[in-house]
Amino acid sequence: MAKPPLSMKPTGWFQVAWSDELGVGEVRALRYFGEDLVAWRSASGRVTVMNAYCEHLGAHLGYGGEVVGEVIQCPFHGWQWNAEGRNVCIPYQDRPNRGRRIRTYPVVERNESIYIWHDLLGREPFFDVPDVFASFDDGRTAADYWPQQRLFRAGLELHPQYVLENGVDFAHFKYVHRTPITPVFTRHDFTAPWSYVDFTITFDGDENQRIEDVDSGVNAINGGLGVAVTRSWGMVDNRTISAITPVDEATCDVRFMVYIGRTPGRDDERAAAKAEQFGQEVIRQFTQDIHIWSHQRYSDPPALATAEYEGFTTLRRWALQFYPDGLGGSAADLAAASSREGTGE
């Protein structure tokens, strides 16, 4: 498959692991954005994600690197690097190499996930990672929900932007998710790096009901292109996080998480089993989307129905801010970027 025309090096927050995959003192090799990375958790619990290769003679810190207190020690000659990527110890010399530094990434741990900030231009984060609980500002916390349920699919040929385009794509619900009637979007706010999408939707009843009579829906917050959180209302209480992280120029890792709300006083095994079952159903619906995305080819310019025009155009314009290399959402951006490359500008 040809690689997607959209840049696979967008700016933003991207999930690289789950928190429980990296215990205290553990080291993990990662590969994202075409880079070899290493993640490690210090004795105090702080997570660092940095380029994998030791600045000394290039050993990969993810293969044999060891956490020593608050630093990582290279397996090759024992040089130690701190959470800022600075060399703090050369064991056979009285002082470290203060000039050398391994590139580190800003890290946030939230909702049991580890996110890194990726920006080709090396800018500091200019927005935050949405929190599946706190960002909805309704006082609900993880304690009100059953344990997180997860889906992980590695190396799929898709682009993070495909996933967000779901948020303006009213027509797919009936066909991909078999909703009885077409949902209606009630909010599209694409004015800032966090965008907001609300829609009225039902999975119950038949095709003869009117959307005006439906009493359930979803609120979504997209934190850039990499992370989206949702909450439901008027149906089984669920929250989801979708996190799509580019691995290389053609593929992404897809992570999807679901929390099902607890009913006070109902904490028995049957309630747990029901929550598990409903969570799996939400995950199944997401895999229906994945099936489309992983075989999709980005259409640009797309043939849009009149009712689709505004949503898709607005979303694609919003997405442009996350493509610092100019490979954004339109044919014109692509042409401009490739002519820049051609002239060596």
Neighbours of 224 (CB within 10 A): 28
Least distance (Å) from Fe ion to the CB of residue 171?
11
**Separation in Å, CA 83 to CA 24, 47, 86, 117:** 14, 8, 7, 15
> Could you give the CA distance from residue 92 to residue 22 in angstroms, rounded to a whole number?
30
Q: Which residue among 19, 36, 59, 109 contacts ligand FES (CB under 6 A)? A: 59
Structure tokens at 93: 């010399």
Instruction: Point out which residues pair with 49 in neighbouring strands.
Output: 39, 105
Q: Which is nearer to ligand FES, 13 or 79 (CB)?
A: 79
Q: Which is nearer to Fe ion, 61 or 220 (CB)?
A: 220
Least distance (Å) from ligand FES to the CB of residue 23?
23
Instruction: Point out which residues pair with 28 in neighbouring strands.
Output: 39
Nearest to 289 by CA among 184, 177, 204: 177
Counting residues that bind ligand FES (by CB under 6 A) gives 9
Q: Parallel, antiparallel, or unpaired: how do β-strands 35-41 and 227-233 relate?
A: unpaired
Q: Does the protein bind Fe ion through residue 289 (CB under 5 A)?
A: yes
Q: Does the protein bind ligand FES through residue 304 (CB under 6 A)?
A: no
Q: Which residue among 104, 166, 238, 245 contacts Fe ion (CB under 5 A)? A: 166
Least distance (Å) from Fe ion to the CB of residue 140?
24
Least distance (Å) from ligand FES to the CB of residue 30?
18
Choose the one of ligand FES, Fe ion, none that binds residue 77, judging by a C-beta under 5 to 8 angstroms depending on kind.
Answer: ligand FES
DSSP helix/strand/coil, 101: strand
Q: Which is nearer to ligand FES, 99 or 265 (CB)?
A: 99
Q: Which is nearer to Fe ion, 65 or 226 (CB)?
A: 226
Q: What is the DSSP letter of 44?
A: T
Q: Which residue among 32, 79, 170, 259 contacts ligand FES (CB under 6 A)? A: 79
Structure tokens at 112: 């049991």
Counting residues that bind Fe ion (by CB under 5 A) gives 2
For 117, phi then psi, to 5°, come to -90, 125
Nearest to 312 by CA among 108, 166, 174, 100: 166
30 and 65 Cβ atoms separated by less than 8 Å = no
- Of 54-62, 93-101, 159-167, 169-177, which part binds ligand FES (CB under 6 A)? 54-62
Q: Which is nearer to ligand FES, 18 or 53 (CB)?
A: 53
Name residues contacting Fe ion, limited to 66-125 (CB under 5 A).
none
Say whether the peptide bond before residue 246 is cis (omega within 30 degrees of 0).
no
Binding residues vs ligand FES (CB under 6 A):
54, 56-59, 74, 76-77, 79
Binding residues vs Fe ion (CB under 5 A):
166, 289
